[in-house]
Amino acid sequence: MERSDEVLKRAASRVGVKALAAELRLSPALVYKWCQPWDPGDPDSSGARNPLDRVVDIVRLTGEHDVVNWVCHQVGGFFTPNPEVKPEHMSAALLHGAQRLVKEFSDMLEEVSRSMADDGAIEPREAARIRHHWETLKRVAEEFVVSCERGLFDQRENGSPR
């Protein structure tokens, strides 16, 4: 897996460190430091903790994936955590995964119905609740599909293809 400084360095190279620093109203020296390896155990490390490392720390400390989902949403995407792999629970997990997917879809439709039944229109705060249900549904669906792609629901005795 790439280090955060490598990702940031590649991104900064697209526009140039000086241009990026100017847009962020930061010194180019700081942005250059973010693009260098940082090792908290090495006092001679030339890099500095960068914003990517800090976002990871926030999520790790809070356990709140909505932080990452918010960042993804700001750039036109959404966050989907990788599913936890526990092969010993896969037969039950398939049914649970399918049920969870249907439940999340049902919750979203219920929110739409409730919003329309209220006054025949979807108000901004209702749309925000619908968006929240939609984002949850997308994450649940992606987890289910990735689990299928990884073969986590293979219930055959030896788990090999027929």
Where does the pLDDT of residue 127 fall: very low under 50, low under 70, confident under 90, or very high at 90 and above?
A: very high
Q: Whole-angstrom Cα distance, residue 65 to residue 56? A: 10
Tokens of 68: 């990452």
Q: What are the phi and psi torsion angles at 152 (to 5°)?
A: -75, -10
CA–CA gap between residue 150 and residue 105 (Å, rounded)? 23
The pLDDT tens digits of the residues spanning 11-41 come to 999 999 999 999 999 999 999 999 999 888 8
Which stretches of 3-162 are DSSP H helices?
A: 4-15, 17-24, 28-34, 51-62, 66-74, 90-119, 124-149
> pLDDT per residue over 57-73, tens digit each?
999 999 999 999 899 99
Q: Are 24 and 35 in contact, with CB atoms under 8 Å apart?
A: no
d(CA 30, CA 136): 36
- Match 């399918």 to its residue by tokens: 98
pLDDT for 87-100, tens place per residue?
Answer: 555 555 677 888 88
- Average pLDDT value over all residues in the chain: 86
HSE-CB of 122 using CA atoms within 13 angstroms: 12
